[in-house]
Amino acid sequence: MRRYVYSLVRCVPDPRTGEFINVGAIVGDPESGDWSMRQVSNETRVRKLSGPVHLDAVHRFLTEVGIKLDEARALMENEGTNGVLDAGWLESLHYDHRNVVQLSAPTPMAAESAERALDFLFAGQVIDPQMQSREPVVTKWTVISDLRRAYRRAAVDSRLIHQKAELYVGQHLHAPLDFAIIADQALQIAQGWSFRRADIDDVSTQVKAWAFPIGRLRAEEDSRVISAGETVSNISRDVDVQVIVAEPRTGEQIRAYEEASQVFAQVRASVHTLAETDEVGRYAAELVAKAGHGG
């Protein structure tokens, strides 16, 4: 279970009376970047309380929030960047909307995912006759956050953990690395992938682009790792390559994962599910100790 924060989205036709109806909810885990929003699919009750102008304001707000979430999700899944959707973002929405559209004060709750949190909220606080449980999406940022915590639990020296490093092979090839464990030279490189997302075709393309330079590394081409701080480190063809995946659920996701699994095998990457992430951290700690940098 993770710690999420949520706000209920309310339509308040007359702010002077304070009468309102809940029309949706926004839920997120600022640490993992798992954010989602849902609005009622049946607006019969909303229309009984509100007029067209009020509904337009609500729809405009929900559309703007939806676009923001889409942009943040694209950054997380394609670039591994959490963006600006922290707890302060939801707080600002709460304080900035005091008229027809209002948000309840952000409140913590425990849930397995943002979608499961929304299921719970819609079951108890947002009445929607057509509510349906949805298959949860897992972002790449969630996978990366889990791996970062695994390194911490394994007591890997934070100075040796390099996030957003780059692997360079030869003169022109390079690949982004979610993590590189570097003690004199690169001991482990790790990449997180989510196969539990809607735009699964993008993942297949990204996996192939990431794996090609690693395949050339395995073939003993001249390679090096450059950290975000522009420190250059050696890397050998036998470096430990780890992959952590959020497993697929739908048929389309499963097909994409099966294709990616062949690519992972070709570059001799060890593949772990989210439940097995601690194994990656423990092995990194062992490699660091063998290199003479253990605690």
Per-residue CA distances from 67 to 36, 70, 83, 248, 260 (Å): 11, 5, 14, 25, 29
pTM: 0.64
Nearest to 12 by CA among 26, 23, 1: 23
pLDDT at 209: 92
What are the start and end residues of each CATH 3.40.1350 domain in the chain?
Answer: 140-290
Q: Which residues pair with 284 in a beta bridge?
A: none
* CATH topology for the 140-290 domain: Trna Endonuclease; Chain: A, domain 1 (3.40.1350)
Per the DSSP assignment, residues forming a β-bridge with 294 are none
Of 8, 245, 33, nearest to 145 (Cα)? 33
Task: Answer yes or no: are the C-beta atoms of 109 and 5 closer than 8 Å.
Answer: yes
pLDDT at 188: 97
Place of tokens 């470096």: 239
At residue 134, the pLDDT reads 54
Residue ranges in the chain modelled with pLDDT below 70 = 77-84, 127-136, 294-295
Which amino acid is present at 211? Answer: A
In the prediction, which pLDDT does 294 show? Answer: 63
Residue 51's pLDDT is: 79
Alpha helices in 29-174, H assignment, sequence order: 44-49, 52-79, 87-96, 114-124, 140-153
DSSP type of residue 292: T
Residues 129-168: pLDDT tens digits? 554 445 667 888 889 989 999 999 999 999 999 998 999 9
At 132 the pLDDT is 45
